[in-house]
Copies of this chain bind each other. A is one copy, B any other.
Amino acid sequence: MAIFDEELARLKEKILEMGALVENSIKDAIKSLIEKDDKLALEVIQKDHIVNALDVEIDEECIRLIALRQPKAGDLRFITTAMKIITDLERMGDLAANIAERALELNKEPNLKPYVDIPRMRDIAHGMTRDALDAFVNKDKRLAMDVIMRDDEIDDLKHAIVSELLFLMLENPNIICRAMRITFIAQYLERFADHATNIAEMVIFLVEGKMIRHTTIPE
A interface residues with partner B (beta carbon < 8 Å): 45-46, 48-49, 52-53, 55-56, 62-63, 66-67, 70, 72-73, 76-77, 80, 83-84, 87, 91, 162, 166, 169-170, 173, 176-177, 180, 183, 187, 191, 198, 211, 213-214, 217-219
Contact = CB atoms under 8 A, between A and B. Distances in A.
Nearest to A46: B218
A213 B90 CA distance: 11
A45 B218 contact: yes
Top 5 nearest A-B pairs by Cβ distance?
A: A49-B218, A170-B173, A56-B211, A173-B173, A169-B176
Given A63-B80, A176-B176, A187-B187, 20 more contacts: A45-B218, A45-B219, A48-B218, A49-B214, A49-B217, A49-B218, A53-B214, A56-B211, A56-B214, A66-B80, A67-B76, A70-B70, A80-B83, A87-B87, A91-B198, A166-B177, A166-B180, A169-B169, A180-B183, A191-B191
A52 B211 contact: yes
Chain A at the B interface: SS class: helix
Contacts of A45: 218-219
A35 B191 CA distance: 29
A67 B79 CA distance: 12
Contacts of A63: 73, 76-77, 80
Contact of A162 (B46, B80, B170, B180): B180
B214 A52 contact: yes
Contact of A169 (B77, B87, B173, B198): B173
B162 A166 contact: no
Contact of A73 (B56, B67, B91, B183): B67
